[in-house]
Structure 1
């Protein structure tokens, strides 16, 4: 009787938790096409202001790669009303923080301020959108910044080029084949007019989402948004190119050499569906089964029991058009790389053959719920997830409230079928990543 009572309490608590996590939001469009999402949360006097532009490295000319990432930097140069170098100083001097990041599919800018500085955040983002400073001085300055970033994060970073090598094979025929940081030679060769044209094409209100979350008043915020963004002119419609890749039909084997490493690595990568697909969510769950924590299957087998691997991982690199499901291992005690690959393949084969247990499925669902709560615990995370839903899930901002239900509906049989469908040896790239002598 006591067990049943405790179980009832646990279930009730879970349902209440799920209900409490529902994110309320207000959304609408300005006449210039800017989509606005507002989430009010009075728990702390903080507000996050963000703009997501639906432009990434996949929108670039193959002879001018790196433009989207370059603009991540260039649009901090200032504006007609903000002196060069004053953007970040203005944020920090008013108690805020700011940053930006670029992927293959979008560019995301944000500020987090005390809530009494909401208007400042809106003004800054409207300045970035309306009349940023794009000139020869800024281009030259940021060119050097990007080159230094590439040296630090890719050229001189251990294992820094594995995605570049894998993606060149996995996405041959698609812009995903190059990395967001792009080519320094392309950036050096580009003229100022090309940068201006790229801005006018993609950094327009009708290709952006303004997402704000935190301690705000909805109606007052709407008035401020109208004040600062209505004058931004609408751009020409942004038409996305649709790329259809032929399925991989045989295993591709390649080798890369890296002077920054002493320990080799083995990678196996599979092309999988993009982030909108339900199968993409299933693949995330498969990643957690294989390498989500110390008790995961690969870690238990290869790191703890056999002690053949120093590190082992599996993850779903989810993008808009396609994704890359990547497994990797670093050897311990000079274990041959092929032995590591066999052990990983054996665990994948096990998933393709046997159903996971009911307790494993429950553990997975709990892990995903914890991850969901954690991702939305900060206002900037919430603002980004709201913008993601609109940008990448067919303008469904409410996707943020549907994620958990999708996870709870995934079955053990579905996990097995997705593993069978995508994680096959004749559909992958195997990369031997070796020290360069």
Structure 2
């Protein structure tokens, strides 16, 4: 009886935490099309100013890949009012930090300052949007930076090009076909005018979302936003009319080599629905059931109990137009690919033919409740969530209600998704093997 009372109390407390997690925000558009989202939280004297541009690797064209990621670096080169090489110095000298990142679908920049420097953050992002300097010295400098990044994170790292192999083979028509870092040959051959045209085309206010989150006074913030961003000229928004992929209806097998590995890896990859669709959430939860943590079914079987694999993982990568669901495994000792494939297929079959246990289902729900709380536990996290939900999901308020989507997923939904999307005739098998010397 005592244990029951404690569990009820714990559940009640956790419910209070979740209810307190409601994120209040205000959003509006400037006449030039810039979407603005404000979130006031005066509990700590910090402010994050961020801008998400709806441009990513998929907006590039074959022969000129890597532009979106390149701009993640290039737009720190400076403006007429921010001298070259001083961007980071200005931020750090004023007690701030900043960064940027790029995906297939968007590019994101942010600064976090003590709240007495909120105006500085707003001004700097407006400078970037209004008139970033795109010149030859900046292009040449950042090209070398990107080359080194590619060497470090991909070309010289074991299994560093594994995601590239998945993209190359899952997508044949859609521009998800290449990684965000793109091709060095493409960047080398691109002319300065092409970089300038890319900036003019995509870095415009009506292709951007500005988020200001933290210790702000909304009316003052709005005045600064109007002052710094209101006069930036809107651009032309081009339709994102990308080629569609035909469904995979026959299993395909390819081999990719990597000079940096000694042990092979085997990937079983499936093309799945875009991240706005409920099935994308279901598949995300299914991937957690299969391989999230040492108590997950695949880890327990292949790594812990049978000692057949050094590593095994199921992962779901949500993207704006399609998503990826894939299994990744590295064999232990003399274990063959056929053995690992048979064991993974057996676990898929179990999910397709029977419901997971109540205990496993509750564990999944707990995991996602925890993720939801942690994702919005900082001002930077809240700013990123607000921008992502507006730009990629089309609903800013998902920051508050996305957890309800996960809560609504049933055991039957998990089974149905496995039956619908994880069949052998819907996948690409990638044998990722050491390069012969």
Shorter-chain TM band:
over 0.9
For residue 223 of structure 2, what is the aligned residue in structure 1?
Answer: 223
Q: Which deviations, in whole Å up to 9, do the C-alpha atoms of 1:92-135 show, x marking residues without a partner?
A: 11111111111110000011111111111111100100010101
Q: Which segment is superposed worse, 418-427 or 355-364?
A: 355-364
How far apart are residue 212 of structure 1 and its match? 1.7
Are 2:42 and 1:75 equivalent residues in the alignment?
A: no
Which secondary structure does the structure 2 equivalent of 1:408 belong to? helix
Q: Which deviations, in whole Å up to 9, do the C-alpha atoms of 1:385-423 show, x marking residues without a partner?
A: 1011111122x1101111111111100000000011101
How far apart are residue 360 of structure 1 and its match? 1.3
How far apart are residue 263 of structure 1 and its match? 1.5
Which secondary structure does the structure 1 equivalent of 2:143 belong to? helix
Please give the alpha-carbon distance, in whole angstroms, between the structure 1 residues aligned to 2:30 and 2:267.
46
Which secondary structure does the structure 2 equivalent of 1:388 belong to? helix
Please give the alpha-carbon distance, in whole angstroms, between the structure 2 residues aligned to 1:3 and 1:144.
61
How far apart are residue 16 of structure 1 and its match? 2.0
Please give the alpha-carbon distance, in whole angstroms, between the structure 1 residues aligned to 2:152 and 2:6.
53
Q: How does 1:34-433 map to 2 (within 5 A)?
A: 34-394=34-394, 396-433=395-432
Q: TM-score, normalised by structure 2?
A: 0.97
How far apart are residue 3 of structure 1 and its match? 5.4
Q: Which deviations, in whole Å up to 9, do the C-alpha atoms of 1:1-47 show, x marking residues without a partner?
A: 54554454344334322211111111111111111111111222111
Which secondary structure does the structure 2 equivalent of 1:179 belong to? coil
Contact 1:202–1:238 under 8 Å retained in 2: no
Q: RMSD across aligned C-alpha pairs, in angstroms?
A: 1.2
Please give the alpha-carbon distance, in whole angstroms, between the structure 1 residues aligned to 2:290 and 2:119.
46
Please give the alpha-carbon distance, in whole angstroms, between the structure 2 residues aligned to 1:37 and 1:334.
55
Contact 2:94–2:117 under 8 Å retained in 1: yes
Please give the alpha-carbon distance, in whole angstroms, between the structure 1 residues aligned to 2:374 and 2:240.
33
Please give the alpha-carbon distance, in whole angstroms, between the structure 2 residues aligned to 1:154 and 1:6.
49
Q: Which deviations, in whole Å up to 9, do the C-alpha atoms of 1:282-305 show, x marking residues without a partner?
A: 111111111111100011111110
For residue 28 of structure 2, what is the aligned residue in structure 1?
Answer: 28
Please give the alpha-carbon distance, in whole angstroms, between the structure 2 residues aligned to 1:251 and 1:162.
19
Please give the alpha-carbon distance, in whole angstroms, between the structure 1 residues aligned to 2:222 and 2:19.
27
For residue 13 of structure 2, what is the aligned residue in structure 1?
Answer: 13
Q: TM-score, normalised by structure 1?
A: 0.97
Please give the alpha-carbon distance, in whole angstroms, between the structure 2 residues aligned to 1:126 and 1:67.
21
Contact 1:207–1:238 under 8 Å retained in 2: no
How far apart are residue 343 of structure 1 and its match? 1.2
Please give the alpha-carbon distance, in whole angstroms, between the structure 2 residues aligned to 1:147 and 1:293.
34
Please give the alpha-carbon distance, in whole angstroms, between the structure 1 residues aligned to 2:7 and 2:154.
50
Please give the alpha-carbon distance, in whole angstroms, between the structure 1 residues aligned to 2:405 and 2:302.
31
State the 4+ residue runs in structure 1 displaced beyond 6 angstroms: none
Please give the alpha-carbon distance, in whole angstroms, between the structure 1 residues aligned to 2:433 and 2:228.
53
Contact 2:174–2:242 under 8 Å retained in 1: no
How far apart are residue 242 of structure 1 and its match? 3.7
Contact 2:309–2:330 under 8 Å retained in 1: yes
For residue 435 of structure 1, what is the aligned residue in structure 2?
Answer: 434
Contact 2:291–2:299 under 8 Å retained in 1: yes
Please give the alpha-carbon distance, in whole angstroms, between the structure 2 residues aligned to 1:237 and 1:159.
38
How far apart are residue 244 of structure 1 and its match? 2.0
Q: Which segment is superposed worse, 328-337 or 10-19?
A: 10-19
Q: Which segment is superposed worse, 313-322 or 43-52?
A: 43-52
Please give the alpha-carbon distance, in whole angstroms, between the structure 2 residues aligned to 1:377 and 1:7.
24
Q: Which deviations, in whole Å up to 9, do the C-alpha atoms of 1:344-383 show, x marking residues without a partner?
A: 1111111111101122111111100111111111111110
